[in-house]
Every structure is written in C-alpha cells, then in structure tokens.
Amino acid sequence: MEHVTRIVIIGGGPGGYEAALVAAQLGAEVTVVDRDGLGGSAVLTDCVPSKTLIATAEVMTTFDSSYEELGILVADGTPDAADPARVVGVDLGKVNRRVKRLAIAQSHDITQAVTRAGVTVLRGRGRLGAGGQGLDGSREVLVDHTDGRVESLRADAVLISTGVRPRELPDAQPDGERILTWTQVYDLEELPRELIVVGSGVTGAEFAGAYQALGSNVTLVSSRDRVLPGEDPDAAEVLEDVFRRRGMNVMSRSRAVTVKRISARTEVAEGPSSPKAGKEGGVGDRVEVALADGKVITGTHCLMAVGSIPNTTDLGLEEAGVAVNDWGQIKVDRVSRTSAPGVYAAGDCTGVFMLASVAAMQGRIAMYHALGDAVQPLNLKTVASNVFTDPEIATVGYTHADVSCGKMDAVEIKLPLRGNPRAKMQGIRDGFVKLFARPGTGIVVGGVVVAPRASELIHALSLAVDNNLTVEQVANTFTVYPSLSGSTAEAARQLHIRKREGAGS
C-alpha cells in the first residue's frame, strides 16, 4: 500500500487552509484544527471585513469629490447645507451587516472547498503534545474540543499557523462599545461621531481614512513623525496631506498612554461634530485619550490599532523544542521549518511579513517541503503589498529605505500622476509612480504606486521585478491611452533616458 503522510494543521487562516489544499492535492491525509472558523482572522475579522467596509468608504469618497471635481449633484437637492462637499450619507448598521455576511459566506466557501478536497476540519483548540517525536518521527497534536473532549491526533508533520490578535495597552482596555479593537468595529450600529484612532500604521491609517470618508470626524494619533512610518516616505507624505485636506486631525509625535470612558458632563473640551453621525448623551458616552505630553483629547469612540500579539502561548512550543523570538513569534527558515523537526510554521505567528498572501505562500512551501515536492524558498523581495487608503499605496520589491541605507544600489524616479491625461479627466490630483532600477543594467528592482486602485496598477511592476525586466522593456510595452498605467511606462522611459545620459557622461 502507498504510504500516506499524516499532516495536522493548527489554525485555518490563509497560512493553514492554503497549506491544507496543497497537502491534500499531494496525497496526504490532512486535518485542520481551527478555533474560530476557516479563513481565520483574515476572513472573519481583519482583511476581508476591513476591505468590505473600505469598499463603501471608497464610494463615499467618490461622491464627496464628485461635486467639486466632476460637477455631480444628487437629484433630491443635496449637497448637505451643513457640509456642501458631502452629497450622501451612510447607514453603518447596514454596512456592517453586509461586512459580517460576506465574511461568514467567505469562511463557508473555504470550508466547502477544503472539505471537498478531502481535508478533515475539526473545530477546537490545537496544541502540540508534550511527548516530542515518537519512534517513527511522528508527533502528537491534542485538540481541545468545545464540549470539553480532548482528542489526540498523530502527525508526520505539523504546521502551526495560529495568527495574531490585537495588542492591548494595560491602560486602554477595549470594551467593545466605545473603546474598540479592529475586530470589534463591525458591531457598531451608528457611525462614530468623533473617532480617535490610536496608531498610524497600515491598520490605523486604513480605518482612519475609511471612517473619515464615511462621515466621522477623525483624529489620528501617531507616535511617529508621520503616518505610515514603515512605508515609502513620499507616499506617506501624500496620504498625510490628503488626510489633513479632508479635515482629519493628524497628531504626530503623540503617544497615547491611557484611554478611558467619560461622560459628557465631565468633559473638558468639545470636539467638532457632524450632523450625520451617531448620537450620544449618557454616562460614559465619550472617551478620553491622555497623551504622553500631557495633552488630553476626547471623542465619542476610540479605535486602538497599536500592533498585534502572536497566538503562540499555550501551544506546547517550548516542550516541543520550537524556538520563538523575544516577541513570541515562531522562528522559521525560508521553507517554513521551525527549530523542531517535523514542525513547520506559517503566517502572522512567524512575523515574517504580515500579509495573507505571504501566510498562504509560507503554508504551501511548508507542505511542498514536508511532502518532498520541489520547493522554492520564500522570496520576500517580490511581495506586492497595498495600503487600502484613498489614494491607495502599493509597493513591490526594494524600497527607498533599502536604497538609502545602501542595501540596494539603484536609481530612482518619481512621476507625479497630475500630468497623466487620464488622471486629469478623472479629477485625480494626488499620487505618483516611483521606480527603482539597477544603475548599470536598468533591471527594475522595486516600485511604488500611489493612486486610486494602486493595488491593481502595481501588477505590471510586480511582473517586472519578478522577471528581472529592464526599464526599456517596461517603457516599450504598450499601455492604453489614456490610462494611469501610462505613467508606469513613462516613468520607465524617463529612467531609461537618465540611464543613457549617465552612461554617456
């Protein structure tokens, strides 16, 4: 009889369920143990819900700029007299019901696909058994079922992909009503009138932009000099300018130390208000955020976006010999192996690059490796990522930081979108295309696109980076006229000319 490898996967997010599909395809006997539902946080609380909310926010932004820029008026006589730039409002309860419906449907679809592939799905908490490897090299995985039963499984290889959860500050405890984590916002029935977002990384920036577009008055508290400290500095500058222009209060170099609920009566300063947003008037109906410099700001709601904590405690890692770093993230190599033989890890719990696409790739790589298939080690230099703000910020390959610290020798060009004919027609004023290329060969090693739907436009640059294409090849590829992607070809053309001038001098 043919040998069948037993694979047990703890955690059914993109890292886990994509691995399960690959392992089943390769003929393994696969079990996925998940606590909350397949799709993981990516589908149930993080990626899918936030992008669904942002889909509504995007339409609102289009409407908001439609009057000034494109001359659109809605038929019943709006724009709003109190806010002439705003022509429509939003029913947040309805939006959130759609968000949750889509998330559950997506989780259901994934469960069906995985089950159809022959994978066994168990609902419960998984952990490594204490016994280490058996004589046959296998390991025990214990499953704590919701009804209290503990089931023991044996696996020839285990994949841990348990994800992360929102980090909470001791003096800013979320209550799910007014002080919220990003997983809790979808229970809101009414739009927060004055929302304070603490944290200006990708999650904070995405939610701040979305709620501002939906009609909240947003204050963004950033402990750093600018929003999106990890992104391209020119891109972050564009976004911060847009945020401020749209009325967001961006507080730089401001660290929140405590967040608590207060009632309107105890409040010292009243923030601005919008007639379209939620109502309050009771005890504890406001929040107060104290900053490290002594300033105090208040609002109706506070969203905490101050990073995440890996779900790696209570998994029996130490006993099994699985090493973690100081942040509790599981250490892995480029084929997702941990320090313990037969134990692999993928996704956010490894902290490698916290994206659904990377989690999925790490999970697949783990299975190719465990099951003896050909495997390409993970290459982070070709990962495309996107910040879903308006405008979006999409990035691939080497970055400005890599070039300025000398990690990559590259020339750089930035072409603003405002000169692009399609951008002019569509009323797009903000954004640019940036390219990084090797000085001698002109090989494209990185790029940034700041534009509406940059997430779609970056693909041309991803192809270039992934396939070592040169600026000439990008420049000489036809683009549609008029189109925003024309700017990608034009940037490459300018870099090509600059390269030739450099060569001649």
Q: How far apart are CB 446 and ligand FAD at their closest, in Å?
A: 18
Among 5, 7, 9, 12, binds ligand FAD (CB under 6 A): 12
Q: Does 399 bind ligand FAD (CB under 6 A)?
A: no
| 20, β-bridge pairs | none
**Does residue 355 touch ligand FAD according to CB under 6 A?**
yes
Site for ligand FAD in 182-221 (CB under 6 A): 182, 203
**Whole-angstrom distance, CA of residue 222 vs CA of residue 504:** 46
166 or 442: CB nearest ligand FAD? 166
Is 15 an interacting residue with respect to ligand FAD (CB under 6 A)? yes
| Using rule CB under 6 A, residue 181 touches ligand FAD | no
Q: Is the peptide bond before 170 cis (omega within 30 degrees of 0)?
A: no
Q: Which residue lies nearer to ligand FAD by CB, 50 or 217?
A: 50
The answer to whether the Cα torsion of 449, 450, 455, 457 is positive or negative is: negative
Stretch that binds ligand FAD, among 14-22, 81-89, 428-436, 469-477 (CB under 6 A): 14-22
Nearest to 416 by CA among 241, 200, 230: 241
Contact positions with ligand FAD (CB under 6 A) in 292-311: 311
Three-class SS state of 365: helix
Among 194, 348, 412, 490, binds ligand FAD (CB under 6 A): 348
CA distance linking residue 489 with residue 487, whole number of Å: 5
Amino acid in position 91: D
Q: Residue from 79, 89, 126, 351 that binds ligand FAD (CB under 6 A)?
A: 126
Given the complex with ligand FAD, which of 33 and 475 has the nearer CB atom? 33
Rounded CA separation 382/328 (Å): 26
Q: Which is nearer to ligand FAD, 359 or 443 (CB)?
A: 359
Phi, psi of 502 (to 5 degrees): -60, -40
Q: In which residue are the tokens 């609920």 written?
A: 261
Angle at which helices 47-65 and 202-214 cross, to 10°: 40
Q: Kindly state whether residue 103 participates in binding ligand FAD, applying the rule CB under 6 A.
A: no
Give the whole-angstrom CA distance, residue 362 versus residue 161: 10
Closest CA to 288 of 259, 257, 249, 256: 259
Q: To which H or E segment does residue 107 belong?
A: helix 92-116
Residue 240 touches ligand FAD, criterion: CB under 6 A: no
Does 13 interact with ligand FAD (rule: CB under 6 A)?
A: yes
CB of 328 to ligand FAD, least distance (A): 13
Q: Contact positions toward ligand FAD, by CB under 6 A?
A: 10-16, 33-36, 40-42, 46-47, 50-51, 125-127, 161-163, 182, 203, 311, 315, 347-349, 354-357, 359, 388
